[in-house]
Structure 1
Amino acid sequence: MEDKNQTEVTEFLFLGLTDHLHHQIVLFVMLLFVYVVTLRGNVGMIILIWTDARLHTPMYFFLSHLSFVDICSSSIAPKMLCDIFAEKKGISFMGCATQMWFSGFFVVSECFLLASMAYDHYMAICKPLLYTLIMSQRVCVQLVMGPYAMAFISSMTYMTLTFLLPFCGSNIINHFFCDISPLLSLACADTSMIQLVFLYLAGFIGILSGLIIMVSYVCILVAILKIQTAGGRQKAFSTCSSHLAVVSILYGTLFFIYVWPGSTSSLNINKVISLFYTVVIPMLNPLIYSLRNKKVKNAFRRNFERKNSLMVLVIHSSAMLYHRCWFIMCSKKNAGLRINSF
């Protein structure tokens, strides 16, 4: 009888980030700006890598996929922007499951893509003579498909476990998107075992990808210390600095949300941190790589100069065509006048 009196949840309602109108306006403008910069930066990075032949190397192949993942990770932003001023911030049951799956998929993909990039840096610095032989096109594709496969398995696991739980009470999520912790707090069942599974799964993903990165950079550090020239050391450090900055920001943020003890009890703090890794980090990645990478800056400069040259050529051609047409018209007019005067 108790089960029959419970109402099954068919949709969820978000509490969002704030209810104050002034804060909503400021937040909307800031998030819209960040989202536009994210799209322009990551799409521009992908186009630049695929159109510039000098960037057709494994490192930039991985970077293009990282930009693609960042674009997809920021797909939560349009829904969040629409919900800022909405009175009812709702999402369907299946829509919530889909949102959770995709957000988890792209976060895990980014973690393992960063691990693949660390391995690529290791091969480039520690084994430069064998680099082109080992990092073939087939190996690069495998190092990209591996993260997607790991992300698919992990996201399917925790999404299935979460949405097999009964949701029969409150449907109000204290968040701005469907995340694991606030959803588990709404389940009408004991979730202690599932939370433990999620903790182990997040720990496995973080430890495995982090261990690959850590071992790669320990070997890189040893190799750098053996370099005799200061220029060679500086070049090796500059190759890894952008990647290390991205790794530190992402792993630090995810650690405080999913691994740090007691993080599930402070959902308001988690909302702020989640906002950082779902919206801000996808914007930072192309900026970090473009500002700290000479090849990317040079490629951007060449692309910009090529566009300027093309624009100058179009303007010059248009001006020449205009003067030519004006000369012909004037010639015909003068010829007509001579005939009439005759």
Structure 2
Amino acid sequence: MFSLRTHAIISGALFAAMILFAIGGNIVTGGRPLKDPTLMLGAKILIFGLFLAFGFSVIPLLLKIFLAGQGAIGNSEVGLVKTLAAHQTAVVWVIWGIFIAGLALAIPAAINDDFFGPEAARSLRALLRGGSKGVLVAAPGMTTEEIVRQSSLKVNVLENPSGPGTPIADGVVFDFQIPGGAITLKGCRYYFISFDSNDRAHVQGISIGTSPDKMSVAEIDALDEDLRARLEADGWRAGHEVYKDEQDRQLHGGATQGPDGYTWLKGDTILDIERKRMDDPVPGEDAATAGQWIQFIELWARQTYPYIERYEFAPPSP
């Protein structure tokens, strides 16, 4: 270990660096957050690193001050003081070890809470989740046996003493395919497969969590657009609800039809593109851009889709 004076200089320099960095940052940015996420991440890492270095540097400094004070009042030969003086390096490393153990828990939590930005949080969560566990192949009208046979994913089928019809669900990382198509949705997060109460052997509806992580409104909009393009290229037809009478149109602000691009048809299967907000609204927020969202899709057989008679779909491609 260094002398008391050297440790005081080290700690003082690190503390001064933190203060100067904060003051300089406020001057450069005018007190406003950095807009460039890369610069913001770099600034956070730098100030956090300085803070950690200062915290670690204070431990040997405080130990040196304590021992110097005890020596000044004549306690140098007291048992505890003498032991600490003889094992200063070991004492510092023990305390640093406790710090490191705490940081091993705190830093991942800080990353997950977006302290270092959303991209760092997503990278950490992706690392912890691991890769895809397999491919789920499913569509309305299939049986459980067909799904299990065609899927490489180990499907979470629960045995039901009363027979088939128990919903199939799980929260794992997997890829999803609809039979007869060329689309594979990678990095899905959950599935929920339900059965018709009147036909418990065949799938009625499927819900798939298609977002790999929480996203901003802009990111979820881009994900929706990408999926629409892929559906169109795979032969799906976009549809919309038609408001057929005056009362219906009045209920929808005078519009004659609903939005396009959220409901799709291919063969006898309907696919809905949906989204769900994962955080709580904040007073005064901009509703058009606020929140963290996930995308999910739902699949239904056309004949069981609610109010299917109200929908029109684009004509098949020639």
User: Does TM, normalized by the shorter one, top 0.5?
Assistant: no
Higher relative contact order (CA 8 A, sep 6+): 1
Higher helix share: 1
Higher strand share: 2
- When Rg is computed on C-alpha atoms for both structures, the one with the higher figure is 2
Question: TM-score, normalization: structure 2?
Answer: 0.24
Question: TM-score, normalization: structure 1?
Answer: 0.23
